[in-house]
Structure 1
Amino acid sequence: MDEKKAAEICRQFYLGDVARKLLTPDLTAEEYLQLLIQNKQYVDAVRVLAYALPTRQAIMWASWCARQFSEANPSDSFSAALADVDKWLAEPNEENRRAAMKAAERVEFGTPAGSAALAVFFSGGTLGPPDAPVIEPQKYLTPNAVVGSVLLAALLKEPEKAEQKYQAFIAEGQKIAARR
C-alpha cells in the first residue's frame, strides 16, 4: 500500500463514525488499517484496503474472498465468473474485461463472484458498447465493486461468523498488498 496517507485514501468514500474518529492526518494507510482492525471496524477496513490497493491487486483480493465463500459446490455461473476474473488477471485486455462483464450478468451482481467480475469490467475501457462513444468508468467503481464482493463473501453465508471471515479476508488483502 506504499506510504499513502490514510486521509487521502479515505476522502474517496464514506467512513463510519468510529473510523472517522480514529483517522488522523499523519497515519499511513497501513497504520490506519491496523487501528481499524484493533477497533473491530472491519467494514471500514475492507473499504480502506479496496481503495488503497492497486486495481489488479484489489480484484485479485475480491476473487480470493469470493472463492472462500464458495468452497463447496459453487454453481457453474459462479465458477465461470471467477474463471473470467482469472483470465483478466492473467491477461488484462478488452476481450477478457468484457467477458467478465457477461459472466457477472449471468451469476448476478449481488454475489461475491458477480461483484468481483463487475470490478474487472469497471477497471478500464469503456462502459458502453465497443462501437459507441467512450464512456470512461469513474475511478471509484472498481474499489466499490471489490468492497461489495468482500462484504458479500463475509455476510451471505453464516453471517454469525462474519468477524472471523473479515479477519481472514483482511489478512489476505494485506498479504496481497505486501507482494507488490
Structure 2
Amino acid sequence: MKKIPYQDSKKILSYFDLSDEAKELVSDALPPIEVIQVLQKAALNIDLTTFIAHALPMRESIWWATLATGLRHDDLTQAENSVVAASANWVKQPNEAMRREIEKSIVPLANESAAKWVGQAVFWSGQGSIAPAENPVVMPADFLHAKAVAGAINTAAALPEWSGYKGYYKKVFNMALDIADGGSGKLTEEAS
C-alpha cells in the first residue's frame, strides 16, 4: 500500500484505542494490510474505520471521508452537502481562507451530522490554528483530524438509520484500499 508504508501497525495503533474485541484479534506486529483484513473479516467496522483514518496521510484520510459521506448524499441537507463539497475542494487545494469558511459552515450543523465531522476534520487538519482567528495560534492535537474522519464515516453508516450500512461499509473500505494503493477512491459500481 503506497500511502500506508508501515512494516507493522505499532505506530498506527499508538494513536487510538481499539475495542476489547479488536485487541484480541490484532497485534501491533501485524502489517497494516493484515490488520485491515482481520478487522474486516470480523466485521469490526468502527475499529477498522478508525484504523484506516489514522493510517492514511491527513489529506487522503479527509478525502476518504468526503467520498464516504458523499455516498449518503440523498440523505443529507443542502447545507451538509455543501460542507462535504467544500471539504473535498479543500483537500484538492488546501488554503486557510477555505478552512476558516468550513469552520463557520459547520457551526449550525448537529453533532450527529456526518458532514459536520467531515468539516471538523478539515478544521482540525493541522494546517492552521483552531483558536479564533484573532487569538494566539493553537494547533490541534496530533491526529485529531483522523478522529473526525472516523466519526464522519461511522456516523454516515448509522444516521439517518437505514438497512444499507453493511453495503456502505463494504464500499467505503474498498474506497480506502484504493486510496491506500494510490488511487482516487472513486470506484465504479462494479468495483465497489
Same fold (TM over 0.5): yes
Residue in structure 1 matching 2:123, options 121, 124, 127: 121
The amino acid that maps onto 1:54 is: P
Structure 1 residues 3-52: Cα deviation after superposition (integer angstroms, max 9, x where no partner): 25223211211211221012224211111111111111111110100000
Structure 1 residues 68-122: Cα deviation after superposition (integer angstroms, max 9, x where no partner): 112x264221122112202211211111111111122133342111110110000
Aligned to 1:20: 23
User: In structure 2, do the counterparts of structure 1 residues 41 and 74 end up closer, same or farther at CA, with 3 Å as the change threshold?
Assistant: closer
Q: Does 27-36 or 99-108 show the bigger shift?
A: 99-108
Q: Do the aligned partners of 1:15 and 1:44 also contact (CA within 8 Å) in 2?
A: yes
Q: Does 1:162 align with 2:165?
A: yes
Q: Aligned pairs, how many? A: 179
Aligned to 1:140: 143
Counterpart Cα distance in 2 of 1:123 and 1:114: 14
- Please list every run of at least 4 consecutive aligned residues from structure 1 whose deviation after the TM superposition is greater than 6 angstroms: none
Provide the identity percentage: 27
5+ unaligned residues in a row in structure 2: which ranges?
184-192
5+ unaligned residues in a row in structure 1: which ranges?
none
Structure 1 residues 131-154: Cα deviation after superposition (integer angstroms, max 9, x where no partner): 211111001310010011000110
Counterpart Cα distance in 2 of 1:67 and 1:171: 15
Residue in structure 2 matching 1:93, options 84, 91, 95: 95
Q: Does 1:67 align with 2:97?
A: no
Counterpart Cα distance in 2 of 1:160 and 1:75: 20
TM-score (norm: length of structure 2) = 0.86
Counterpart Cα distance in 2 of 1:54 and 1:114: 20
As a proportion of its length, which structure holds more helix? 1
Q: Do the aligned partners of 2:13 and 2:28 also contact (CA within 8 Å) in 1?
A: no
Superposition CA RMSD, Å: 1.6
Q: Do the aligned partners of 1:81 and 1:107 also contact (CA within 8 Å) in 2?
A: no
Q: Does 54-63 or 86-95 show the bigger shift?
A: 86-95
Counterpart Cα distance in 2 of 1:95 and 1:52: 27
The amino acid that maps onto 1:112 is: A
Q: Does 1:177 align with 2:141?
A: no
TM-score (norm: length of structure 1) = 0.92
Counterpart Cα distance in 2 of 1:4 and 1:116: 29
Counterpart Cα distance in 1 of 2:54 and 2:44: 16
User: In structure 2, do the counterparts of structure 1 residues 103 and 9 end up closer, same or farther at CA, with 3 Å as the change threshold?
Assistant: same
Q: Does 102-111 or 143-152 show the bigger shift?
A: 102-111
Deviation (angstroms), 1:159: 4.1
